[in-house]
Amino acid sequence: MDLKTPLLLPFSVTIVSATMLSDLNSLNRSSRRLYTLLCCMLSACSLPLEHTYLDSDSINSIESAQLQHDAGEGDPSLQKSELFESLPLSDIAAAQAEVKRHVLPHWQKISERSRYVRGRMVATLEEIGAPLELQTIPVIESGYNPYALSYAGAMGLWQLMPRTAKGLGISSGGGLNGRRNVEIGTRAAAGYLLSMRERFGNWPLAFAAYHLGPTAVAKRIKRSPWSPEDGINKMPVPSITRAYVRHVIGFAALLHMKTIAFPEPFPTTAIRLMPPVDLKELAKASGLDRETLFLFNPGLNHAQYLRDEVELFIPVEYEAAVLAKLEEVGPKYVRATIRSGDSLWTIARKHHTSISHLRRLNPGISNTLSIGKSLKVPANQLARANPSPNPMLSQGRRMLYKVRSGDSLWTIAKRFGTTPRDIARSNQISTRKLIRPGDRLWIIARIRPS
């Protein structure tokens, strides 16, 4: 067969007779698009289109060239970044494309959330010497929602599991949650990632270990050694973990290329408050939106601090207004837990009020009280009172329950003030599923067990 003289194109192409014309339907969409583009170029050079053909090697060459161009080949900041190690540029380009499809449609909401916490996160990353690119991980993990709580129990911007958090030294107490706290969570998660980078020798495997767990990654790497030059698709981990790594890499690359950018975070200042203080009253008195106050302070468990000091982050423009109102924002109302033997009369007497006042504060309350639930009462007896919760938190206390002998979904639900349907939904099981002693179930407890 007669070969035509190859054209001088940016990539190598062989043109042969029409008897070897490939069926375009067998090509993927990207290849068809490149094929069409090439045909237009050939047409411009006055070559007959019916005699054009791309073999598979040529198509791969074209796709590789296009992906490398999309990935920013020649951009020093991209190629020299430690985060991308020696990953093929085509892998980085594919990761960018995947992020554009799956993450960027939600970018406006995610980026707006980031403004409340990202400034303090970046400061913490700088403080411990971690790469600033790690600020992309909360995009993938939680969508920059510090109140995010997964079915498995992962929590916060970095979606730390309880056991992992405990191993990293995160503690919660004094009305604070360490996993939701911006500085504590960032310091722990970034420190963990740095240790994974040191252990496995590169960032892609560090990200895989963050998602899958270091032990599981180590076992797979021992069976099938991997290095960044092999490409993400050959990483010996489950497909969902490879997708996670691609999303982190792709998002970081888009930031490097300035395809996207985080908005400037809101500047904040920290103030130390002495108890008792009602944060909702403080927000109202200083003109700050109540929900906004708790977006800046996701680590707080309470809206009232009756016996503990609390550090509060507020927008700098509200500092003067907040400081001016500190003396006026003691709690007016608190929560009182109903105990065995309590009645409206005994509760009213204990808190120096009347039954009618209790009814006004708690519309719809009946004469029959449920032990473990709480009532809104005047703040006359702070020593006996319970603080009201952070309004951004889900109602109820999430806990992991170990099934005991004789338990059923119905008895467990009754014990914790919930329903079998809610327990089944939280654990993605059927209400008819047989549970056995030793099983563990996530429960949103509405009352303390008796």
Q: Over the stretch 137-170, which tens digit does the pLDDT of each residue have?
A: 999 999 999 988 776 678 899 999 888 999 999 9
Model confidence pLDDT, tens digit, residues 306-357: 888 899 999 999 999 999 988 777 777 888 888 888 999 998 888 778 888 8
Q: What pLDDT band is residue 122 in, cutting at 50, 70 and 90?
A: very high
Average pLDDT of the residues in 174-192:
95
Q: What pLDDT band is residue 293 in, cutting at 50, 70 and 90?
A: very high
CATH topology for 268-391? Answer: Membrane-bound Lytic Murein Transglycosylase D; Chain A (3.10.350)
* 209-214 contact pairs (CB < 8 A, 24+): 210/137, 211/240, 211/241, 211/244, 211/245, 212/237, 212/238, 212/241
Across the chain, mean pLDDT equals 81
* 44-52 contact pairs (CB < 8 A, 24+): 45/7, 47/4, 47/7, 47/15, 50/18, 50/21, 51/4, 51/15, 51/16, 51/17, 51/18, 52/15, 52/21
Res 4 pLDDT > 70: no
CATH, range 79-256:
1.10.530.10
Burial per residue of 323-359, b for 16 or more beta-carbon CB atoms within 10 angstroms, e otherwise: eebeeebbbebbbbebeeeeebeebbeebebeeeebe
**What span, in angstroms and rounded, lies between the C-alpha atoms of 422 and 409?**
10
Whole-number pLDDT of residue 243: 96
Specify the domain boundaries for CATH 3.10.350.10 within the chain.
Answer: 268-391, 397-445
**What span, in angstroms and rounded, lies between the C-alpha atoms of 234 and 216?**
16
pTM: 0.69
List C-alpha distances in Å: 226 to 75, 216, 235. 26, 14, 6
Q: Which residues fall within 8 angstroms of residue 329, CB to CB, at 6 or more apart?
A: 277, 278, 279, 281, 282, 285
H/E element holding 340? none
Average pLDDT of the residues in 37-50:
39
More confident residue, 94 or 55: 94
Specify the domain boundaries for CATH 1.10.530.10 within the chain.
Answer: 79-256
CA angle 338-341-344, nearest 5°? Answer: 60
Whole-number pLDDT of residue 77: 56
Q: What pLDDT band is residue 394 in, cutting at 50, 70 and 90?
A: low
Whole-number pLDDT of residue 7: 33
Q: Are 207 and 245 in contact (CB under 8 A)?
A: yes
Q: Are 403 and 439 in contact (CB under 8 A)?
A: yes
Q: What pLDDT band is residue 413 in, cutting at 50, 70 and 90?
A: confident
Backbone angles phi, psi at 427, to 5 degrees: -110, 5
Q: What pLDDT band is residue 272 in, cutting at 50, 70 and 90?
A: very high
Q: Which two three-digit tokens encode residue 408?
A: 């059923």
CA torsion 415-416-417-423 (nearest 10°) is -110
Model confidence pLDDT, tens digit, residues 202-252: 999 999 999 999 999 999 999 999 999 999 999 999 999 999 999 999 999
CATH, range 397-445:
3.10.350.10
Q: Tokens 């120096």 — which residue?
A: 352
- DSSP SS3 for 237: coil
List C-alpha distances in Å: 43 to 7, 248, 365. 12, 41, 81
**What span, in angstroms and rounded, lies between the C-alpha atoms of 310 and 274?**
7
**What span, in angstroms and rounded, lies between the C-alpha atoms of 197 and 187?**
15
User: Measuring CA to CA, which residue among 391, 149, 124 is closest to residue 265?
Assistant: 124
